Amino acid sequence: MRKQKVLDVLNNLEVFEQQGGEDAYMLVEINDDVLNKLEQVGVSEKTVKKYGDDETFCILAFAFGEGYANDYVGQLVYEYQEDIHSYFGLSYATHLVIPRSVLQSMPEKWQYNFVKLLNELDDTNWRDLLPEGMYKVEYRDYGYESNEETEREEFTWKDEVIDPLLNYDRGRRNIFI
């Protein structure tokens, strides 16, 4: 709730200078009115000045840096939330496979949130919708081979490969360090 209130204030401030692209910024003049509006939603003057100087501050740097937003359009900052369909994009993927070593290498808070979501998913009893049987996930090489009938290159799975992330070290492995 607080996040949206902060975004509402930011999106109603008057931007006097803006640049898009890779080095995007949106500058707002710091004055008593701006500081009062932000303070009313719990943002201190000290926090505002981390993202500017005594005269101006950057809405984008503030919103992104403090975790209030992750995207913008025009002069509006917002938190882009992506659904599963959008995440998969235009691919034909039907499954998402993530190695255990990758998941347990994420920060602890992230892991707790992820496991909470997995438990919520388990509560739906989604596995009851599947026919009896098991999935088998294999790490394999792939390539393309010529098909003489169609005279086209076709995708093919090749030999199984040893998974370089297989050793999860009983929860102690972190692949990112």
pLDDT in tens, 145-157: 998 888 899 999 9
Residue ranges with strand state E in the chain:
15-19, 25-29, 56-58, 71-73, 76-78, 140-147, 152-160
Question: Domain residues of the chain, as ranges?
Answer: 2-78, 87-171
13 Cβ contact list (under 8 Å, min separation 6):
28, 34, 37, 59
- This prediction has a pTM of 0.56
- Cβ atoms of 10 and 61 within 8 Å: the answer is no
pLDDT in tens, 48-93: 999 999 999 999 999 999 999 988 888 888 888 888 888 888 888 8
